[in-house]
Structure 1
Amino acid sequence: MQLTRSRRAARHAAAARTTVLAASAALLLTVAGCGSRLPESAFGAPPAGSTGRSTDTGANADSVKVGIITSLTSPVGSETFAGPRYGAQAFFRALNAAGGLNGRTVQVVTCDDGGSGIGNQDCVHRLIDREKVFALVAGSVLVYAGAPYVSSKGVPDIGGQPIGTAYEQWPDLYGIYGSSAPRDGRSVGWDGTLYQSTEIYRYFKEKLGARSAAVVSYDQADSARYARQLEEGLRAEGYRVLNQTVDLALPGFQAVAAAMKADGTELLFDAMDTRGNAALCQALDAAGVRLKAKVTNVQNWTATAGADYRDSPGCRSVLWATSSSLNYEDTRYPEVQAFRSAMAEYFPEREGLLSAWELEGWAAARWLTDAMDSCGADLTRRCVEAFMNSGTPYDANGLLLPASFKRAPRPSGPLRACLNAARWEDSAGSGHGGWVTQVPDMTTTCYDVPQLPYRP
């Protein structure tokens, strides 16, 4: 049985939440060579006899208005949450350049919530009450305090990054990784319980023959909580685990490096922000620690890795990332090439800031667009939600592992889970380089793994 994406969503949410909160506590479509615009036939012509009439809030004969909420000026920096916003905007600009959606132009309204709950509620009310958006898309926020209001108004929110647990609780909210939880608004997951799967640990055990791992976290509640999840998953796969905790304000990474060297640690997982990771890697290089892999998550799969780890080339040479989406640098895939071409045309200044999240923002925009396209001229929120709740797996033209929102009973027993993985490779030994895909096909790199319950 194929793993539903709820378990993967929960793990990504925990990883993102840990990275962000720990840092905060510290304070178009095209094929290669064919241009960057989406062909006019990308989504088809309006159905015969279509009137293109106004059918719902935010949609009229000529346009449809969508909103994007981002914690762009959050306490953890302007780039932490920025990616999905730019990826989605690039998709819609390319779509409009190709003639729009069945003749409708997609109007995008953005809002920066400043990384606060109050700011998020203000953005939600502005976009829904004043701007009258048809839907929200590609949200990436630190605190989704406005989620209950979005759901109460029946506004589809599609392809958001699950930083917290809102996408595992509220109807009308559709996170980028899918969900099989009840999402009835009453509790998170199944009566407050979510589940993680262990395919990442299984992959490195089989790929690299690793049998020992270290988990490093801050002495901060969210960081420690995620570290426990990492440790539980590793132990379930038979790893020997070294657990190390450092002071948030004055982390003693030299002691951690010494402990890992003495232990013979092969893999490194962490529950820290980029600042902490970079400092830890410097300590590891200085101590002569040689890992098989330093494993990071999709939130840190960025073009800035070369610069982030410039002072620890040894650690950087074993840097891996895993995800449920294609590598944003892997232009063998036409949809990735379309994303890169559109970003180069509409946001050329972001060439050195591209990320996996940016590609997932593009995928979110495509998901909403395909849902709207399924409605033809009769564009309604009800029709869009019927598309989202159909239970049919969706992969954004191959960008995502198939995801759906088909409700399922509380998980029990092993399920089949798949993943993508990439490794950072320097160019001729320099700090410049990029991410190179390490699996032949993410849809077939799959394992039968256990599901481990936890309470967020």
Structure 2
Amino acid sequence: MPRPRPSRAVEALSAVLLLALSTACGSRLPESDFESDGRTTPSATAGAPLRVGIITSATSPVGGNAFTGPRDGAKAWFDRLNARGGIDGRPVEVRLCDDGGSGVGNNECVHQLIDEDEVVALVATTALDYAGASRVSRARVPDIGGQPIGAAYDTWPHLYGIYGSLAPRDGTTGWDGKQYGGTEVYRYFKREHGARTAAVVSYNQAVSAAYARLVERGLRAEGYKVVTEQVDFALPNFRAVAADLKEQGADLVFDAIDGHGNAQLCKAMDDVGAEVTAKVTNVQNWTSAVPDDYKDSPRCRNALWATGSSRNFEDTDHEAVREFRDATEGLKTHSQWQLEGWAAAMWFTEAARSCAQEGVTRACVDDFMNRSEGYTADGLLVPVRFERLAEPPRTRRTCVSVARWQDGKGWVSQGDMNDTCFDVPQLPYEQ
């Protein structure tokens, strides 16, 4: 079934967005401005490389390596693909561009890759400020499997975020400027663990507070008692928050704070003896670096849970995960974002292979992406679809991938993601 994923996008990147760096989506343009049909893109002869572009905010105000996971996963896929002969004998030539986390840099990357390098597609875009999104759309360049940090993937045609979209994508975000997301994560902890009281921790900063309100609304829709905690962004007193969490008897802790703040919060929780069923983190923090990041908080560390829409990167009983891990064994750390970048590159590859008869063009790849079939990347993703619904859905059946951290075992999957599914309300929000 079609599944909207905008709330997961916000969830995955709340820690970054709280830094109040805006994500520009460009001004709305009429459909008549989308003049290129994509079929005039030079189509290389047999054996010549296929060029793809990867835009990453590899250097940005939020620090190095915050956004590089999808890039590294996609590049690992293409390296292995080329070692096996490429796509119908054509190697994939990957053109990387670091936009520096700025709108100006992003527009420069878009110009370089689309106009000068003439890439057939963008893959695994992970941009703090996707200011060039409208330009990508006007050029009808398919952008495949990007991480939807802002609203671009629910705004523009020809952009295909890793979690899918049901929005019209006609130049206006979502439906009349509002996006919709489900309450499946909150339903999961209520059903599986009997959770009834949830705390939401945020900074006294606009974007952090806005995300916290979204979480609070979803929790209340699922019948939780909600405890709100806010700390000063410049001088956070996490010990006071931890003491109140203990006093309030919170079962769950959600947050709208950065990774460093999360580690400090966990340490404070250990220091005051605040025990919870789950300290719920997100896809961006679903990494193998947990022992280092949370080295000072063993109790809280072992209460970390992560939720998402892709198969746990440590689930090596699954063949597709084993292949990913084998190809990325040389990386210092592993992460869920790397696996999703790998899946994005696989998605492009299948699209390009579908173009064998007419040649690999932007238009042909785009046609593949617009199919109504759910894409799973050999089981790595909960089925992803792109449809254009005239009205937002009131409810959807949504599946969720869940894992918890255990020292000595790493991230342990909590059931199969394709079986952990809920019929949940879809709530509106604005970015």
Please give the TM-score of this superposition, normalised by the length of structure 1.
0.88
Q: Partner residue of 1:5?
A: 3
CA contact (8 A) 2:352 2:365 kept: yes
Query: Does the 8 Å contact 1:59/1:65 carry over to 2?
Result: no
- 1:192-224 CA-partner distances (Å, limit 9, x unpaired): 011110010011111111100000000111100
Counterpart in the other structure of 1:130? 116
Change in 2 beyond 3 A, CA 1:24/1:354: farther
Asked if 1:397 is matched to 2:393, the reply is no
Larger displacement relative to structure 2 (10-19 or 281-290): 10-19
Q: Which residue of structure 2 aligns with residue 386 of structure 1?
A: 367
1:77-96 alignment runs, 5 A limit: 77-96=63-82
Aligned length: 412
Work out whether 1:357 is the aligned partner of 2:337.
Answer: yes
Gapped regions of structure 1 (runs ≥ 5) = 26-53, 428-432
What is the 5 A alignment of 1:13-412?
13-23=9-19, 56-57=41-42, 59-62=44-47, 63-185=49-171, 187-344=172-329, 348=330, 350-351=331-332, 353-377=333-357, 378-412=359-393
Which residue does 1:435 correspond to in 2? 411
Preserved CA contact (<8 Å) 2:13 2:284: no
The answer (yes or no) to whether the contact 2:3–2:396 under 8 Å persists in 1 is no
Instruction: Output the amino acid matched with 1:449.
Output: V
Structure 1 residues 70-96: Cα deviation after superposition (integer angstroms, max 9, x where no partner): 000111122110000010011011111
Root mean square deviation, CA, Å: 1.4
For residues 147-203 of structure 1, the C-alpha deviation after alignment (integer angstroms, 9 at most, x for no partner) is: 111111111110000000001101111000011100011x10011011110010011
Q: Residue type matched to 1:355 in 2?
A: S
CA contact (8 A) 1:55 1:379 kept: no
CA distance in structure 1 between the aligned counterparts of 2:214 and 2:176, rounded to whole angstroms: 19
Q: Which residue of 1 aligns with 2:427?
A: 452
SS at match of 1:407: coil
* Separation (CA, whole Å) in 2 of partners of 1:77 and 1:277: 16
Is the CA contact 1:166–1:188 (under 8 Å) kept in the aligned structure 2?
A: yes
Percent identity between matched residues is 57
Amino acid at match of 2:404: R
> Does the 8 Å CA contact 1:13/1:165 hold for their aligned counterparts?
no
Give 1:398's aligned amino acid: G
Alpha-carbon distance between aligned partners in 1 of 2:184 and 2:282, rounded to the nearest angstrom:
13
Structure 1 CA distance, aligned partners of 2:3 and 2:364? 23
Structure 2 gaps of 5+ residues are 22-38
Tell me, in whole angstroms, the C-alpha distance in 1 between the residues paired with 2:147 and 2:56: 10
Report the CA distance between 1:17 and its aligned residue: 4.1
